[in-house]
Structure 1
């Protein structure tokens, strides 16, 4: 999930990140466009791994672009010098535990020959878009969104440099314990407690109250293993992000709207939430996995996603379940279409269509007309456009596409 909220670079280390980006650019207009893309939520879920960050950025075209920023990972000798510098000062460890990156730690590490923050030229962007800018606006948007992640958690930078938060803290804890043993005298022997006192009945204090619900769902910003046979990393990121959003909704409202969906509806919902409509490598992998799990084909899933994006669960029902509407709106639709000079459509159950022209309107249970199209003379109907309560407007919009 992408970050949002405060201006990117509100921390000093986040500012250093954006300064490295802006020093890289030769076109301030691309940077401004990238900052706008980031603030408008065009940046998808960010996957962070040692040496790189990857996401998909929506631009002016329907298909999002795969965007990547590479940054050199530190080697084992660099990490040894950095960890020794951090463990030598307890204040540095306390600051890291508080999600803070103190100037003194970065300066001390630099004196030891370890540069944590990127300097101008250290960031290497790449993007699947045709823009040859360096960086393009999509890579700039990823950089600005990454600055928000860094503001909230400096361990994101350390992960990009090659080490995960848990591994770093465990190593620092071991080094700090070793320093404490060498520097502090052994404590006096513990006097002990009588067994009768230790095992006697006692009243436990009440459990603490529940923690407050955070204002927003959490987001995944870790690296997933690329082991053979393991799920695709970006698919895992999508599922983790969706689970966090569902958990947050359940905590705040007490209900889970997804719980009422069938496995097929939930698979369509998950696929529809992914940008790209199955056109990118990541979404093709996701579509194949969801289709296989539900006994459908990727084409079935793609058609259902189009229906879901057109009208949610009702749109999917319109695609899959014909019904017999009562007299009223359906019977008035054909004269209204004829009066507007539109093609005459033949009725069948809740549908009005012309197979030779490849156009069709379907009446949903919500009294809205859902436009469909097919190659002329075939029976391969796909949801197209936006449903409308007025069949004339719905058909006019379909004919104009």
Structure 2
């Protein structure tokens, strides 16, 4: 297929200053910043980068496969070329990504809408492809001579988070494929007829060895067959809709829902183990009954089952809706921030105050009232909550209740910006 050479570099004009605003509103923009903040060794350089980006010191940004570039003007007015490198996907990885995307029409539609739903990234990860960068993936190069992330490369990354919010194709270009090339490939694969050779209809030869032979040879055995590939979708549990009436106290609809959610969770866990390997797979702590009720409610049960989960958990309908909202933003960690109010003290309190102090310029810092691990903006329906892991979670008040407004961030200003209501909601 002919490649569009001009599609392999995009240049974005310098963005206006971002005073008083966060740098990422979307979850994938926040994931980009998380990779930066986990990679950089010097938090002071991150703060310097945020200040430069907010002041509009980052010039036009050039995006190419494997690299982003901009000229950044330091506080002393000295201009430096800053580059950040991100590994490109291989041709074989792109083939797998395209095959996976074509199989799920919703992924293509989401990309065309300039959206990157979490399940697209999760499905890509299940095939061994990491679209979003992780810790250590953003490699800096700067004309100032710094060997780690400096204020210039950090400022470039913060500015690129704003570009990613507007267009996730920027990330795909960094990974090696331009928008037109990507869409052409997707269209070609969608239109290609499926190859069904005659041999495919024949039954496969049975694998393995004869039991008598295996016993006779002792420890001289052939290698075990390869593990089967991960199924594309979770298995479908058998239907319980039979002529046999259920036993007293047994709800067939609830059992079918539990079986379906168990199959989906098993599929997710298997995909994660196959992707990371059993040695690197962290075993999550067992959920409490209250947490598991929220997890199940997040699986879109029928109205009757949703009511039972809400009542059984003691949260009620509105409380369960808020808990589900939190769960979808961050699982157990987000649910703990919703439910738990705790006293911040000692070194944790000192770090929190330092983060709040450096997050805004003096004339832009909001007035915050602290109560436990919650900082509420005076005169506004916005709030920051500090998690036990040091991340900040945005909250806003809706119909008299505090509800989660976005995912976590290391930077309080970025988190608080997520709590702003969309413009159409503010005018209601």
TM-score (norm: length of structure 1):
0.43
- Bigger RCO (CA 8 Å, 6+ sep): 2
Q: Larger C-alpha radius of gyration, 1 or 2? A: 1
